[in-house]
Amino acid sequence: MEDLLRRIIEEALSLGASYAEVRYEENYSCNLMISNGEVKRAGTSARQGIGIRVLADGAFCFVSTSGLKEDDLLKLTREAVKSAKAISKLKKEKISLADAKPVADKVIYKPLKNPVEVDLSEKKELSLRIDNAIRSVDERIVSSTVMIGDSHVRKLLITSDGAAIEQSGPRVRLVIMVGAFEAGRRGSYMDAFGAPTGYEYFDRLDLNEIAVETAKKALRMLKAEPAPSGRFTVITDPDLTGVFSHEAIGHACEADGVIAGESVLKDRLGEQVGSELVNICDDPTYPGGWGSYKYDDEGMPAVKRMLIEKGVLKTYITNREAAAKLGIEANGGARAQDYSYPPIVRMSNTFIVPGDWSFEEMLEDIDYGVYLLGSRGGQVDPAKGTFQFNAKEAFLIEKGEITKPLLDVSLSGLILETLHNIDAVGKDFSLRTGTCGKGGQGVPAGTGGPHIRIKNAVVGGRA
């Protein structure tokens, strides 16, 4: 395979490309969905193909195919170089790439229980056990859906700048959805868990407790009351802290967006953009992170990026093109969903670094506020610097104590104002799994942090 990829590179260079990057990928995946004790969906899929990106006369062209015939691949390569040159003639500004050191490496993760080798019936038993546990919690639980998905990916990358990198590893994920019903009211809750490992991940989890907790959260929704609207002091849990750091800060730190003028953090490097308590990083080297990797899809070593340090904006997430354009360090932020997409600037694991507050200390000073947990979607406009998230769960805080559950609560505001209003950062920490969508591509991304407290935050409720 490596020889074939090298012949594609040679073809591209011989036709006048200044850079070529060829990625071969094979992906095996299995998905299982159980609903109310019944297997609703089950299937396995095997994918493989090659993606080729060429830079010629300062313009890119990307082609991909699931076919592996050499003739077809070379023909596609010729088309790519020709189209890149055609685009170049129309471009005022030519693309150049930040320098890359040639890297040859093999990064092979060997799981204890490789998803490919775990029997489907074992995966089914695991899902049924969780599904059963959920439905045994309470008779008001009316629906339960458990999805288990796994994959094993092997990637091979060769670039004309000397990268020859093989990376392979598994991934497992569990998604639970619970519906509850009582006296005409519906409550629902969804949660997801996962790790870039094999099925040994599930041995370490207390699946029964996860099932019971998720069911209890759905039941709690039946009792939740409409929330107040207005400006309050709020505490966000690690889940929502993570979503905030990813959606509101991380996206605004993506160098391609900064260059396109679509970021409120544009031209602000070195500037105080938040309170001194705020440290936010995007770290692809975080051990066991859902968004971790050793080399990005341009063959650059992944490095930890301290985006905001003591409230000061320190750097952006870059690929080679954006780093050259902005004159800053290339930090290995180019990722592609799979071989059929070109790599673009992406986050990895994005989180707020823990501080030294305990949850009780944060709560103590709040006379009237809201505790928000998780996110079930929202909107961010990184250009205007506005955000709005709908929390999965929320509670009222009265006189330093968590009191009643609230319904349909949203947190919104201006990104920069909110960063300045963070007045306490917890010492706890957790990182969660997610899929980040951008430019039609979805990649695994970790999000997290500690509990944080925000003064004067805009809370939207329906009371």
| Binding residues vs other proteins (CB under 8 A) | 35, 38-39, 41-49, 59-68, 72, 76, 79-80, 82-84, 86-87, 90-92, 119-121, 124, 186, 260-261, 340, 342, 377, 379, 384, 390
Distance separating alpha carbons of residues 171 and 149, to the nearest angstrom: 8
| Minimum CB distance to other proteins smaller for 42 or for 402 | 42
| Minimum CB distance to other proteins smaller for 29 or for 136 | 29
Phi, psi of 311 (to 5 degrees): 85, -5
- What's the min distance (Å) between Cβ of 264 and other proteins? 13
- What's the min distance (Å) between Cβ of 18 and other proteins? 16
| CB atoms inside a 10 Å sphere around CB 331 | 24
The arrangement of strands across the sheet holding 441-449 comes to 312-313, 305-309, 280-282, 349-352, 441-449, 430-438
| Minimum CB distance to other proteins smaller for 89 or for 110 | 89
| Minimum CB distance to other proteins smaller for 97 or for 308 | 97
Q: Which residues contact 255 (CB under 8 A, 6 or more apart)?
A: 316, 317, 318, 319, 322, 323, 325, 326, 328, 333, 345
- What's the min distance (Å) between Cβ of 216 and other proteins? 21
The two tokens of residue 193 are 């868990």
- What's the min distance (Å) between Cβ of 110 and other proteins? 22
- What's the min distance (Å) between Cβ of 64 and other proteins? 5
| Minimum CB distance to other proteins smaller for 38 or for 99 | 38
| Minimum CB distance to other proteins smaller for 272 or for 386 | 386
Residue 423: its H or E element: strand 422-425
Q: Which residues contact 23 (CB under 8 A, 6 or more apart)?
A: 50, 51, 52, 155, 156, 157, 297, 336, 339
| CB atoms inside a 10 Å sphere around CB 162 | 12
- What's the min distance (Å) between Cβ of 326 and other proteins? 16
- What's the min distance (Å) between Cβ of 143 and other proteins? 8
Distance separating alpha carbons of residues 142 and 192, to the nearest angstrom: 20
| Minimum CB distance to other proteins smaller for 379 or for 403 | 379
Distance separating alpha carbons of residues 102 and 99, to the nearest angstrom: 10
The two tokens of residue 291 are 């968004």
